[in-house]
Structure 1
């Protein structure tokens, strides 16, 4: 994250920065850049499916946390740097290449490819941030100090990343890398405080809220698209039977409903709030940098559950299927609900999402104790999402109030 830029400096110096006075569009290069992360999310879901253990799940969580930070910090950088300028374009392409390498070795990051994974990740975070120090220094002088603080934080965590890759493996490497991520996730809350360099302030993080909101919404599309790819790829390799078709429709319906729950009102309200907030940096940090993580993690969990359902639609729902379906959807509703709460003037968690959380908890408990046919279990999960979507639709569009008033008049 970086500070906003002022009106000081020559036009030549400012040429690597976007004009923040008007609408900041999402560039085609940013959309191209995102394609790498479709592959990265697919790698994470495959890692979970192949290991299917607590250790594999923990390793996938570390990998996702790194992938998310690489993406979101690059999005912050692209909020200021102009992707149409050649140096910025080269920087984004280099980050894209390093991200692709990181995604390729991701399934073996806790085995023999740990050093490649760590070096790729460190190159992304440190290299991009130092580039932004240069951009900000040439354009604003003193405002580059904020980017320098961030670079030093990343350099500190880089030591832990590389040490973990060189000195440990498996669970031991997990704890090293968890410590590295703790440093990086604590940075924005600590305002990147450093001795002699001071700390940043939220008022310094003047950004284009609409651009960041749109970029995060596009990442949600990426995550949902990864689920569609998994669903379509699995179904394409199966016989076209009624059972397989039913499982396919259940998986597809779940993806559609997750899209609906986020994009019907949440994305627009979030964009409006950050665009008009007095401290857009605070909203960007809380609502987008952090609260979108459980949303994407929930989508990944749902994609894993869909692949398990499609693989064995004629079996009873396994405990793994129950855990990933209910756990993934609960995580998704919790994240979206918190995001909508932060985007609302009423600051209340949506009642529809709270009901969905309760129903998924009940469904998980029942299916854990009483084996249910997989298709029935999957249908019940979709029914919960449908209830949430319909409930929110009518509550926000006045449908319940109008129907209740008409019923009262008839009575």
Structure 2
């Protein structure tokens, strides 16, 4: 911390892009509350593996993810690491902790608390944006627009507290729509010169991806810990780990800041928007994958895997691969039509498995999913020339 109190400063632009930036200790500490929040919302899905359960899981996951996104993009552009920013971020952490506490029954008795916690976190972010608008003339237009849009969304969430369910959730949806639309509808002229830092942003997104992958690993450990050790449960655990490890490999082997640097040089704000919104189905799929593996380990040996659990695992991994295929196709991560086709094709195979895999054992289903995920790693290595077959 360079001084006790200083105004926000612009961290992007041509000069700042030459600066090597990494996540700060404060950002890493901030991420800890999201570890808890993701774990809690995943627990909801574990308790209700159904279409309704998955939709509820996604509906609650989105505000958690968007709260992280808001702070990440603000810090990417304006982080000053002064005492004011630290204290405001600490208040946001308390709001996210409250969000995690209320997520267990977030669409029921705790929905009012969930809404208040989300609105409080957004209110702090709005304050930070208006603070940036006051001190950084170059960023005043964009910061004011973001602050205004996010303030409207926060007010909608706060009003929802006084509306009975299920009408309350309509205001939630409207608030999320305003939140999502605010960056999308901002004029390109406001973004130019204020594009996110091309090194800091991929690292931050990578860290959140690690958080949800960590939830998948925890699910494997919890699943095994709750069962009596036998060959089947141990094999399912190993295969579940292979799935998580393969998804980690094909994401982090292909991600870099090169696409963002090129987009920044060409003023292509669309690439940043695809980067932002294209990661949402990926992190939802990764979180759901861990829950699916945990259910598979919990299924007794000799029994066929139930249809909801089969759809959960196959659908979650397919969602991850579809998202990665989109990111490949648009060049947000390593631009490659071949890898994109492999991701899309494998996602289609997993959907087919979910449809026709009636009667398959848990070991059979997780084994097939692990195999097709591992083939993605092999294909990437072969295509890049790191693996040859003689």
TM-score scaled to structure 2, two decimals? 0.90
Change (3 A) 1:231 1:83: farther
Q: Is the 8 A contact 1:59 1:174 kept in 2?
A: no
Residue of 320, 326, 331 corresponding to 1:338:
326
Correspondence for 1:274? 260
Q: Indicate yes or no: 2:176 matched with 1:181.
A: yes
Correspondence for 2:281? 294
Q: Is the 8 A contact 1:247 1:313 kept in 2?
A: no
Residue of 289, 304, 329 corresponding to 2:291:
304
Shift of 1:216: 0.2
Change (3 A) 1:79 1:359: same
Q: Indicate yes or no: 2:151 matched with 1:143.
A: no
Residue of 209, 221, 246 corresponding to 2:210:
221
SS at match of 1:397: coil
Q: Indicate yes or no: 2:365 matched with 1:377.
A: yes
Correspondence for 2:111? 114
- Higher Rg: 1
Change (3 A) 1:317 1:63: same
CA distance in 2, matches of 1:24, 1:282: 23
In the comparison of the two structures, how many residue pairs are matched?
377
Shift of 1:88: 1.4
Correspondence for 1:322? 310
Q: Is the 8 A contact 2:220 2:240 kept in 1?
A: yes
Residue of 188, 196, 221 corresponding to 1:207:
196
Alignment of 1:5-404 (within 5 A): 16-18=9-11, 20=16, 21-82=18-79, 84-138=81-135, 140-141=136-137, 143-169=139-165, 171-191=166-186, 201-264=190-253, 266-268=254-256, 271-277=257-263, 278=265, 279=267, 281-287=269-275, 289-314=276-301, 315-343=303-331, 344=334, 350-367=340-357, 370-397=358-385, 399=387, 403=389
Give deviations 1:41-98, integer Å, cap 9, x for gaps. 1111111122334333222212111011100110011113335321111122211111
CA distance in 1, matches of 2:80, 2:222: 34
Give deviations 1:177-213, integer Å, cap 9, x for gaps. 122211211222211x7xxxxx863314322111001
Shift of 1:107: 1.6
Correspondence for 1:6? none
Change (3 A) 1:247 1:13: closer
SS at match of 1:209: coil
Shift of 1:306: 0.8
Shift of 1:256: 0.7
Give deviations 1:338-387, integer Å, cap 9, x for gaps. 112222456676222122122212211211xx311111111011111111
Identify the range of structure 1 (332-341 vs 127-136) with the bigger mean alpha-carbon deviation: 127-136
Q: Is the 8 A contact 2:288 2:316 kept in 1?
A: yes
Q: Is the 8 A contact 1:301 1:325 kept in 2?
A: yes
Q: Is the 8 A contact 2:322 2:343 kept in 1?
A: yes
Q: Is the 8 A contact 2:132 2:143 kept in 1?
A: no
Change (3 A) 1:398 1:226: closer
Give deviations 1:196-253, integer Å, cap 9, x for gaps. xxx8633143221110011001111110001111221231232222122112112111
SS at match of 1:333: helix
Change (3 A) 1:398 1:18: closer
SS at match of 1:371: coil
Identify the range of structure 1 (108-117 vs 271-280) with the bigger mean alpha-carbon deviation: 271-280
Change (3 A) 1:351 1:345: closer
Q: Is the 8 A contact 1:207 1:280 kept in 2?
A: no
Q: Is the 8 A contact 1:134 1:144 kept in 2?
A: no
SS at match of 1:167: coil
Change (3 A) 1:94 1:365: same
Gaps of 5+ in 1: 1-11, 194-198, 407-411
CA distance in 1, matches of 2:325, 2:102: 34
Q: Is the 8 A contact 1:110 1:173 kept in 2?
A: no
